Amino acid sequence: MAALSVQMGALAGSGVTLRSSVYGSKLSGRKIQGISASRIASRPRAVRMGLTESGPSVAVVGVTGAVGQEFLAVLSERNFPYSKLKLLASKRSAGKHISFEGRDYEIEELTKESFEGIDISLFSAGGSISKEYGPLAAEMGSIVVDNSSAFRMVDGVPLIVPEVNADAMAHIKLSNKKGAIIANPNCSTIICLMAATPLHRHAKVKRMVVSTYQAASGAGAAAMAELEQQTREVLDGQEPTCNIFNRQYAFNLFSHNSAVTGNGYNEEEMKLVKETRKIWNDPEVLVTATCIRVPVMRAHAESINLQFERELDENTAREILSKAEGVVVVDDRSGNNFPTPLEVSSKDDVAVGRIRKDISQKGNFGLDIFVCGDQIRKGAALNAVQIAEKLL
C-alpha cells in the first residue's frame, strides 16, 4: 500500500518546507465534458506579488495544523503580497522552524501581544483560540479571517464565500485602517454553495437536501494520521488504534462525529442549514442535511437535491455550472466518469457532475447533482486567502 504521508517540501512548487499527513493526486489532463481536466490544477491567480515592502503584514495562527500549513501553500501559490510574515502556534510548537519561500521562519508562541502591527490574521486554531484572540487582534487593528465556527453566526460578522457573497464584506478594507473579523464558512457549506449558488441565482432554490461524505481532513491532521495508521493495522490483522473517533474508521463510515442536538440533527448538519441561510441572505430557504464521515483522506463529496421556484432544465444547469467561477463540470455519462474525492484532492476547483432532472418532481423544478471539493483548500485555506485578497 502506497504511503499516504508525504513530505510537503514539494507542495505544488509552493516553496514551503514542512511535514503533513496529506496527499493529492494528479489528473491525467483528459477531456471531461468538453473541458480539460487540467483546468482543475491550473487557474489564473488574482494576485502576483509575494514578498514586497508595499504588502500587508500577515500572521498565520495555528500554522502547525493541517489548514495552517495549507495557508502557507496557498499564500505562496497565489503570490499573495506581504511585507512581514508571523507564524503563530501553541507554546509546544514555539521555537520550531519552517522554511517558506526560501526564508527561515521561527514559530512564535501565540500571546496577546502577537498582533501588534499585523494587518491580516489568518486563524485556524480552533474555536476557543479564535474566541480568545480574534477580538484582541481586531482591537489591535488586524483584520481577522477566522476558519473556526466561533463567529460565523454572530450578527455583524460577514460569513463569506468570495464567489458567492463578496459584497457582504465590501465595507472592510485594509485602507480603512480598522480591525474587523470575517468568518470562513464550514467546509461542507463552502463546497455545497459553490455548486448550488450559480443555479440559485438563475432559478431560486426553494429547498435543498444535502448528504455529505466527509473526509478525515475535516477533523484535522491527527485524524488523517490515524486513518492511515488504522488502515495499516487492519490490513495487518491488528486491532485499530482509535484515539480520534473512538471507533474504527478504516474500511468503515459513520454519522458525523459532531454532537447531536435536541432536534436530532448533529452540529455539522445544522451548520449547513444556518450558514446557507446567512450566506444567501434568505432565512426562508429550506435546507436539510445528513453528514457522514467516510474513510477518505482530504476531500469531501456531497449529493445535493435542489427544488426551484422557476424551471431549470439539466442542460441549462450544466451550461451555467460550466461557466461558474471556481467550478469544473465532470459529467461524462457514456464513460460513467464523475467527480471523485481523489481527483479533486489538492485542487482549487469544486467538481460537479451527475447533473440530472429530479424525476420525482413534475416539470423542470428539481435537479440532482454530485459535488466534490478539497476540504483543506477551497473548504478552508483557499477560501480564507481569497477573502484576504478582497481586502487589498
- pTM for the full model? 0.88
Let me know whether 264 and 341 are in one domain: yes
- Asked if residue 155 belongs to a domain, the reply is no
- Asked if residue 279 belongs to a domain, the reply is yes
Let me know whether 224 and 368 are in one domain: yes
Let me know whether 69 and 202 are in one domain: no
- CATH number of the structural domain spanning residue 103: 3.40.50.720
Q: Domain boundary residue among 99, 122, 150?
A: 150
Let me know whether 142 and 195 are in one domain: no
Q: Is the pLDDT of residue 166 over 50?
A: yes
Give the containing element (helix H, strand E) for 75: helix 66-77
Of 192, 256, 300, 372, the active-site residue reads 300
- By the 8 A CB rule, do 214 and 188 touch? yes
Alpha helices in 82-205 (DSSP H): 127-139, 162-165, 187-203
- Asked if residue 222 belongs to a domain, the reply is yes
- Asked if residue 51 belongs to a domain, the reply is yes
**Looking at residue 17, what is its pLDDT?**
52
Degrees (nearest 5) of the Cα angle 52, 55, 58? 110
List of residues 6+ apart from 183 with CB closer than 8 A: 146, 150, 151, 152, 154, 157, 158, 159, 160
Q: Domain boundary residue among 150, 169, 203?
A: 150
**Looking at residue 385, what is its pLDDT?**
98
pLDDT tens per residue across span 181-221: 999 999 999 999 999 999 999 999 999 999 999 999 999 88
pLDDT tens per residue across span 326-357: 999 999 999 999 999 999 999 999 999 999 99
pLDDT tens per residue across span 296-326: 999 999 999 999 999 999 999 999 999 999 9
Of 187, 192, 291, 372, the active-site residue reads 187
Q: How many structural domains is the chain composed of?
A: 2
Q: Percentage of the chain with pLDDT > 90?
A: 85
pLDDT tens per residue across span 68-112: 999 999 999 999 999 999 999 999 999 999 999 999 999 999 999
- Asked if residue 313 belongs to a domain, the reply is yes
**Which three cell numbers, joined as nine digits, stand for 130?**
479564535
Let me know whether 223 and 363 are in one domain: yes
> Could you tell me the pLDDT band of residue 28, with boundaries at 50, 70 and 90?
very low
> Could you tell me the pLDDT band of residue 50, with boundaries at 50, 70 and 90?
confident
Q: Domain boundary residue among 122, 150, 178?
A: 150
Q: Taking all residues of the chain, what is their mean pLDDT, rounded to a whole number?
A: 90
For residue 40, what are the CA distances in angstroms to 142, 264, 337, 339, 340? Answer: 33, 37, 15, 11, 12
Let me know whether 92 and 205 are in one domain: no
Give one DSSP letter per residue of 171-188, joined into a string.
Answer: T--GGGT--EEEEPPPHH
- Asked if residue 383 belongs to a domain, the reply is no
- Asked if residue 380 belongs to a domain, the reply is no
CB count in 10 Å sphere of residue 277 = 16
Let me know whether 256 and 325 are in one domain: yes
Between residues 181 and 9, which one has the greater pLDDT? 181
Asked if 187 is an active-site residue, the reply is yes
- CATH number of the structural domain spanning residue 285: 3.30.360.10
Strands laid side by side in the 327-329 sheet? 254-255, 286-293, 205-214, 299-308, 366-374, 350-357, 327-329
Q: Is the pLDDT of residue 116 over 80?
A: yes
Antiparallel, parallel or unpaired: β 327-329 and 350-357: parallel
Let me know whether 227 and 295 are in one domain: yes
Let me know whether 123 and 196 are in one domain: no
pLDDT tens per residue across span 226-270: 999 999 999 999 999 999 999 999 999 999 999 999 999 999 999
Give one DSSP letter per residue of 290-334, joined into a string.
Answer: EEEE-S-SSEEEEEEEEEESS---HHHHHHHHHTSTTEEE--BTT
Q: Is the pLDDT of residue 36 over 60?
A: no
Asked if 256 is an active-site residue, the reply is no
Q: Percentage of the chain with pLDDT > 70?
A: 88
Let me know whether 145 and 195 are in one domain: no
Let me know whether 202 and 143 are in one domain: no
Let me know whether 135 and 193 are in one domain: no
- Asked if residue 321 belongs to a domain, the reply is yes
Q: Which domain holds residue 314?
A: 189-375
